[in-house]
Amino acid sequence: MAKSQESYNKKEKEKKRLKKKREKAERREQRKLEKAESGPLSFEDQISYVDENGNLTSEKPDPTKRIEVKAEDIVLGASPRDNSTMDPNRRGKVKFINDDKGYGFLYDAASEESVFVHINNIVDNVREGDKVTFQIEMGPKGPSAVNVQLVK
């Protein structure tokens, strides 16, 4: 009676595992030999410097190229928008509207961006392609159009 196929597979897997283990040990020994041949690194060989562009180098940077930066000039995060110069009344076109889901998007002619609009903020009945006037308010997820009216 012949041995089952499963025991053969188990033996093959065990052979592969042992072969990988041997190869890994050989590679480790090879690296140790290469390291021993090159000699230990001195402290100076292990030091890295940062140049004037912020890149790591093995050479000392030139102190004359050093740039002084004031802590007040560093801005963390996005710079705040100045919305004071914007006209509150905007003009644009209805880019997309979905009455079933209750939202749409308007094309703002001034900034050439899409602006979200909720169906509750639409005064007149609008369809895609209609020219409209609207105002922009900051919603929880960004700018949103309110008081949307048809241009007559």
Higher pLDDT, 142 or 6: 142
Which secondary structure element, helix H or strand E, spans residue 56, and what is its range?
A: strand 56-57
Confidence of residue 111 (pLDDT cuts 50, 70, 90): confident
DSSP single-letter state for residue 88: S
112: pLDDT strictly greater than 90: no
Q: Does domain 89-150 have CATH number 2.60.40.420?
A: no
- Split at pLDDT 50, 70, 90, the class of 84 is low
Q: What is the pLDDT of residue 81?
A: 65
pLDDT digits (tens, 9 = 90+) for 54-72: 889 988 888 888 888 899 9
pLDDT, tens digit, for every residue of 25-44?
999 999 888 887 777 777 88
Nearest to 27, CA basis, from 38, 39, 37, 19: 19
Buried-exposed string 105-127: b where 16+ CB fall within 10 A, e elsewhere: bbbbeeeeebbbbeeebbeeebe
Parallel, antiparallel, or unpaired: how do β-strands 142-150 and 131-139 relate?
Answer: antiparallel
